[in-house]
Amino acid sequence: MSVRPHTKWSLSVGIGVIGALIVTLVVLAFLWPSKTAGAHDVPLGIVGSADAVAAFEDALDASAPGVFDLTEASDRDAAVAQIEERHTYGAIVLNEAPNAPEVLTAPAASTAVSQQLGGLAAQLQAQLSAQVAAAGGDADAVTVAVTPIVPLSADDPNGTGLTAAAFPLTMGGMIGGIVISLLVVGVIRRLVALGGFAVASGLILSLVLHTWFGFVPGDYATIALVIGISVLGTSALIVGFTALIGTPGVAVGAILTMLVGNPISGAALPWQFLAQPWGAIGQYFVPGASSTLLRSVAYFPAADTSAQWLTLAAWAAGGILLALAGHFRSRAAIRVPASTLEAEAPAPA
């Protein structure tokens, strides 16, 4: 019986070092967004007279430079519409004296931004109280109201469930793509398996997230469709790369999804919190588009979601086209021209 020779010492050490570098890369990919995160140019609506808006903007630039990007609205209703359509994360309504300002928030869009707006409300309250006291009035008589326009579900009051759902969806798409790539043979059979996987994942995971846990409110069928196309975008990509370049395609698809798309997806924090331009770029990968789309259909039915639908459809279609391209390339490689067969055939005796 032959004995397998020992691995060379240099190769053993090299494999260990490479493994450590890979682990470090994975850790950096997940921790880098948190380390570099910081709010900048977060869209915020504002309502008030020109003088009041200008004064507030100057004060905001002094206390929190570059954090908010103010968008003027004609009145409170217009500011609410901007929030519901996901153009802004909240709004400041600068009512004329003696009415106190009002801060509108959208916890369903981002609890982090809502907390920052709560801090702004406290600052406005302190300024207002000082002005009223200086005028000889009762400082406690006027209060800055904080109104949540789009609150989170009662079953997920902190939004942790919706945020946590993003990573399993990414992992689920990867697992589905890997299993189909390794266990299913034949391009048509793989495409059928992808379709079945997407439909079943959408129906079952929506039953868990929407009906059972209550993490994702909204219409069940729409949520199932979002989850289905989200996992399809990732799984089809892995199947496509595997069909095109073989087993290494699994690693290529996983790297694009897990180490590139997931860290810059903006699932845990708004993409405006990530280092630019990576936050914006992340919205064009499956994890970013699926996270934004799922939050929109759950809480913001008035929002325009066409960009996210198109992004996910493009990734799914790209994976399917890669699978077909790999199939026809393999068939062309094994096909032997008839002229070659005739040339190699032995001459008749």
Among 51, 49, 94, 46, residue whose Cα is nearest residue 72: 46
Among 234, 247, 221, residue whose Cα is nearest residue 167: 234
Contacts of residue 43, Cβ cutoff 8 Å, sequence gap at least 6: 68, 69, 71, 87, 88, 89, 272
Distances 251 to 175, 234, 238, 248, 263 between C-alpha atoms, Å:
12, 12, 8, 5, 17
- The encoded tokens of residue 15 equal 């494999």
- Give the pLDDT of the chain (349 residues) as one tens digit per residue: 567 788 888 888 888 888 888 778 777 777 777 777 788 899 999 999 999 899 899 988 888 899 999 999 999 999 999 999 999 999 999 976 667 889 999 999 999 999 999 999 998 888 888 877 777 777 677 789 999 999 999 999 999 999 988 988 899 999 999 999 999 999 999 999 999 999 999 999 999 999 999 999 999 999 999 999 999 999 999 999 999 999 999 999 988 998 889 999 999 889 999 988 889 999 999 999 999 999 999 999 999 999 999 999 999 999 999 999 987 776 666 665 545 545 555 555 4
Tokens 């994975």 belong to 26
Q: How far apart are CA 87 and CA 110, in angstroms?
A: 13
Contacts of residue 39, Cβ cutoff 8 Å, sequence gap at least 6: 67, 68, 112, 113, 116, 270, 272, 273
Rg (CA), the chain: 27
> What is this structure's pTM?
0.87
Q: Name the phi and psi angles at 105, rounded to 5.
A: -125, 170
Query: Is it true that the peptide bond before 287 is cis, omega within 30 degrees of 0?
Result: no
Query: Is it true that the peptide bond before 148 is cis, omega within 30 degrees of 0?
Result: no
3-state secondary structure of 71: strand
Contacts 24+ apart (CB under 8 A), 47-53: 47/72, 47/73, 47/74, 47/75, 47/76, 47/78, 47/79, 47/91, 47/92, 47/93, 47/94, 48/92, 48/93, 48/94, 48/95, 48/96, 49/94, 49/96, 52/94, 52/96, 53/94
Q: How far apart are CA 318 and CA 233, in angstroms?
A: 9
Residue 140: predicted pLDDT: 72
Residue 341: predicted pLDDT: 46
Q: How far apart are CA 15 and CA 21, in angstroms?
A: 10
Q: How far apart are CA 40 and CA 272, in angstroms?
A: 6
Residue 349: predicted pLDDT: 45
Q: Residue 275 in contact with residue 36, Cβ under 8 Å?
A: yes
- The encoded tokens of residue 204 equal 């079952």
DSSP 108: T
* Triad 225, 230, 234: Cα angle to 5°: 145
Q: What is the largest CA-CA distance in the chain?
A: 122
- The encoded tokens of residue 235 equal 């799984």
10 Å Cβ neighbour count for 167? 17
Residue 33: predicted pLDDT: 75
